Amino acid sequence: MGLSLMKRQTQGYFQHIAIVESDSQLSYIMQEYSQDAGCAMAEVFEEGLSFQNSRIAEFDLVVLDWSLKGPTSAVALYNRLRSRPALQSIPVIVVSGFVDRRDFRLFDEFPLTRLVEKPFTSGVFIEAIDSLEREKSWLKKHESNLLTLIQAGEGRTSQGLHKILRCIQQSPHPRPLLFVMGKLLAKEKLWEESQFLFQTVLHEDPDNILAINELGKSLHMQGHHAAALRLLERAQIYSPDNVKRLCEIGELHLQTLDADSAERSFHAALRIDPSLLRAKAGAQLAHSVAAYLRSREDESAFPHSFASLMNTLGITKVRNGHLGEGIDHYQSALMFIRNNDERAKVMFNMGLGYLRHQQSEKALFWFVRSAKTGGKLFLKAHQYVQAMSTRVILTEEGLRVTSSSRQKEGSRQKNKKRLDERSSAMLEVIQDHPNDPLFEAYEDSYRAVDLLFEVEEEGFN
């Protein structure tokens, strides 16, 4: 098995390969095969965590053993690769000692994946690489063509969508193009057009897992929660290992305040990937919602939307003196609230929480985020930003309170400019890292001060 039976005559398209393999003998063989395939460098990772902590985006190809040992399973790693936009286009070769197609139905949902059964020769390995190289090159070209058609307006009419669909169906790789098409339509927020496209596909191919999944996601974004849930759960029966879909199903259950079903979905995702932050946050929110609903006998007094309930729970935690728990709760809720008006209210309440506990820079940080997110329709946050900007001086030691009447106009304008620059810098960092609790990064360098600013008793819910 270790002998090279075939060598490429030319340099390969994939030059930097990651081999995630806990069997040292097999990893050595695959390094040899990679050289036979014309790859310049192959890095070996004996377990998933070290691979996860590497610069994954720099690899041209990932070779993943499905029987990988260690706390992070191969199915969890594959889900992470396919759920992150920056990593979705990295080709993957999965090697497995026993191949039952029912165990690998997850691969039907994503492009650029090949399954190779152990033991395999150098020729089989190179053949898989060649196949992925052709698909990646072909997909890159046609993705650009699809994007051009959408931006030219072809994706906004039924006639144009039929034209695009014919191109997809006549291609040698229709499934990957369907995946790409769903991604492009979502990026342009063409939800109704996406719904039309995938309903057309399902009319001709009722069991198309990609179309079922993409149609479910599109309906979710349009607010058709019940219909979306039926489709996503149908897709989950066919392919049960997709953690991103499990979290989306959990989110839909949260939106309808079905806490028990939500908790089951998030825990199913955590059984596949125990470190998945979105699933952890969702499970904790579902637990909190279930406890709250059980404690209330009068159902007419319940907040009847998920966002309102999240604000109610967060306000209660902060008022009871549990700022850390309240902020953690708000942060988790933001992972599952998509409407900008509702997100702005959650961010505003975070600002109020910090202000109540005399942590002024963090308060300003979240008021700025709330103002930017809510826009002109949420003036309350703008008022707080304006008031704080005129009453606070930004110094090297942190924020300092000043009386507006004692501050000269020129100094006040200069200070406001510095605060605006700081706010813009904060927002740029947030946009680069949308899921991180970034306000904690400022904790050590800026001390909390009392703004002498009256905190309103009522938050938004």
pLDDT (tens digit per residue) in 139-160 = 888 777 777 877 777 767 777 7
Same fold, 16-133 and 153-238: no
User: Token digits for 172?
Assistant: 């040698």
CA distance 461 to 459: 7
The pLDDT of residue 421 is: 57
Closest CA to 460 of 323, 322, 305: 305
DSSP 8-state secondary structure symbol assigned to residue 152:
T
How many other CB atoms sit within 10 Å of the CB of residue 331? 17
**C-alpha distance from residue 405 to each of 171, 299, 379 (Å):** 71, 51, 25
Q: Burial of 376 by CB count in 10 Å (0-12 exposed, 13-18 middle, 19+ buried)?
A: exposed
Considering the segment(s) 16-133 as one domain, its CATH architecture is: 3-Layer(aba) Sandwich (3.40)
Closest CA to 80 of 108, 57, 114: 57
Handedness of CA 279, 348, 426, 395 (dihedral sign): negative
* Tens of pLDDT, residue by residue, the chain (461 residues): 333 344 554 556 789 999 999 999 999 999 999 998 888 899 999 988 899 889 999 999 999 999 998 888 999 999 999 988 889 889 999 999 876 666 788 888 888 999 999 889 999 999 999 999 988 888 888 777 777 877 777 767 777 788 778 777 777 667 777 778 887 888 788 888 888 888 888 888 898 888 899 899 999 988 899 999 999 999 999 999 999 999 999 999 999 899 999 999 999 999 999 999 999 999 999 999 999 888 876 655 566 789 999 999 999 999 998 999 999 999 999 999 988 999 999 999 999 999 888 888 888 889 989 988 998 888 888 888 888 766 555 555 545 545 444 445 555 555 555 555 555 554 444 444 444 333 333 332 222 222 323 333 345 55
The pLDDT of residue 445 is: 27
- pLDDT tens by residue, 187-237: 788 888 888 888 888 888 898 888 899 899 999 988 899 999 999 999 999
Q: Please check whether residue 353 is in contact with residue 364, taking contact to mean a CB–CB distance below 8 angstroms.
A: no
User: Token digits for 65?
Assistant: 């053993």
The pLDDT of residue 170 is: 73
Q: How far is CA 395 from the centre of its chain?
A: 36
Q: Cα torsion at 445, 447, 453, 459 (round to 10°)? A: 70
Domain 303-442: which CATH class? mainly alpha
Domain 153-238 has CATH 2.60.120: no
Closest CA to 331 of 347, 345, 320: 347
CA distance 253 to 256: 5
Instruction: Please provide residue 68's backbone torsions phi and psi, each rounded to the nearest 5 degrees.
Output: -55, 135
Q: Where in the chain are the domains?
A: 16-133, 153-238, 303-442
CA distance 201 to 207: 10
pTM recorded for the entire structure = 0.78
Order across the sheet with 41-45: list the strands: 41-45, 16-20, 61-65, 92-96, 113-117
